[in-house]
Amino acid sequence: MTLILDLPPDVEAQLAARATEQGVEPTTYALQLLRAHLPPMGNGSATAPAVEAPEDPTLALLRQWERERDAMTPEERTEAATEWETFRNNINATRAAAGARLLYPYP
């Protein structure tokens, strides 16, 4: 579907600036905005598929870390736990020597 919008100059300038920040064309950015802000089609209509908003990058990273954690072998889990304990103890020792509050007061 082709849609022609008559944008006020200030909106057009803002759209162009945001698109440039994102490294995409203004038409691509406008489509991304529409997809992110249109509600899903829950009325049973089979004529148009529901549009998914892009995944939040932070949530994507957290899911990736969960997948990596779940794929670890028992030996890798033990090694990771040992590395964390060493890191925590070193941070606490350095802070204790300086008279600062411990960041990890509980084992």
Q: Is residue 7 part of a domain?
A: yes
Return contacts of 62-71, CB within 8 angstroms, 24+ apart. Answer: none
Tens-place pLDDT, residues 11-29: 999 999 998 988 888 888 8
Q: Cα-flanking dihedrals φ and ψ of residue 10, to 5°?
A: -70, -35
Q: Is residue 50 part of a domain?
A: no
Helix axis angle for 9-22 and 26-37, nearest 10°, is 90
Question: How many domains would you assign to the chain?
Answer: 2
Band (76; pLDDT cuts 50, 70, 90): very high
Q: Is residue 20 part of a domain?
A: yes
Closest CA to 47 of 102, 1, 82, 97: 1
Tens-place pLDDT, residues 26-51: 888 888 888 888 887 765 555 556 66
Helix (H) or strand (E) holding 99: none
Q: Is residue 76 part of a domain?
A: yes
Q: 33 and 4 share a domain?
A: yes
Q: Is residue 28 part of a domain?
A: yes
What is the extent of the structural domain holding 21? 1-38
Q: 92 and 61 share a domain?
A: yes
pLDDT > 90: what percent of the chain?
Answer: 53
Q: Is residue 22 part of a domain?
A: yes
Q: Is residue 51 part of a domain?
A: no
Quote the tokens at residue 95. Answer: 């802070």
Contact indicator for 85, 72 with CB cutoff of 8 Å: no
Q: 1 and 34 share a domain?
A: yes
Q: Is residue 106 part of a domain?
A: no
Contact indicator for 63, 85 with CB cutoff of 8 Å: no
Q: 34 and 63 share a domain?
A: no
